[in-house]
Amino acid sequence: MIVDAHTHLGDKEGWKVEDLIASMDETGIDMSLVISEKRYAPIKKILEQVEKYPKRLKAIGDINFETLDIDQINYILKLLEEDKIIGVKFYLGYENYYPSNEKLFAIYEYCQANNKPVVFHTGALETGDRGLLKYSHPLNIDEVAHHFPKLKIVMAHMGNPWLLDCAAVMSKNENVYADMSGYFEENEPIEYEEVAAFIQRLKAAWLFLGSYEKFIFGTDYPLYSQKEYLEAVLALDLNPKEKELVLWKNAAKIFNLDLT
């Protein structure tokens, strides 16, 4: 069983839902979680695509912080309540706000009370984006986890390049996890040398945490090949328990997935 917990769709060539399904079939991925993003595909468009493959794809919504008001919050909460989305992502750095901004607390409170996860962009931004990294540093997530200790939190991209800071936040906070997506050079084949560096850097996080048990497989498809990304993750020295947790069990637990 394999779940890719971090993918995207859009109108560009290679970004369409049929392309994702074909990639999953080639790679042996059972389910992908598709994250909406106002730059590429808003929530409504993502829902239209995901609904074509209800057993293979699930949607994660996002917010537009610049226009965030009670109507937008209520819309997100309604989608969560109706199980049309399985979580909410916040694009820290791409938009200029900290995760501890009180405007977001109504979403956190609902998600905490209803066992729904939130996902935060952490770490570097997509090449060419002029957002501010101070908002996307993984240490910012510690404050949210402190105030909402039962809220299930996923730090996308492991806070790369701040992997040890990400590991420290996970170590301190029981309900904080990290997905492994978006590590390599975008829109390029993953080279052997990059995989070797990936293994070395993840080993440092492993030494801090004592295991890979709080990591989640994700790719950031279509910026990366799912097949190549899976091969890179499987190159890590995962024991059988870690392998199951990373490839699907953590995602199933955090996102309340029915994988039967």
- Domain spans, the chain: 3-254
In this predicted structure, what is the pLDDT of residue 14?
82
The pair of structure tokens assigned to 208 is: 């801090």
Do the bridges between strand 57-62 and strand 88-90 make them parallel or antiparallel, or are there none, so unpaired? parallel
Q: How far apart are CA 190 and CA 192, in angstroms?
A: 7
- Phi and psi (nearest 5°) for 237? -85, 75
Q: How far apart are CA 178 and CA 176, in angstroms?
A: 7
Of 112, 53, 107, 86, nearest to 255 (Cα)?
86
What tens-digit pLDDT sequence spans the chain (260 residues)? 999 999 999 888 889 999 999 999 999 999 999 999 987 778 999 999 999 999 999 999 999 999 999 999 999 999 999 999 999 999 999 999 999 999 999 999 999 999 999 999 999 998 888 899 999 999 999 999 999 999 999 999 999 999 999 999 999 999 999 999 999 999 999 999 999 999 999 999 999 999 999 999 999 999 999 999 999 999 999 999 999 999 999 999 999 999 87
pTM, 2 dp: 0.96
Q: How far apart are CA 141 and CA 23, in angstroms?
A: 32
In this predicted structure, what is the pLDDT of residue 260?
75
The answer as to CATH 3.40.50.2300 being correct for domain 3-254 is no
In this predicted structure, what is the pLDDT of residue 170?
98
Query: Residue 132 burial by CB count (10 A; 0-12/13-18/19+): exposed, middle or buried?
Result: middle
Return the C-alpha torsion angle 156, 49, 66, 121, nearest 10.
0
In this predicted structure, what is the pLDDT of residue 38?
81
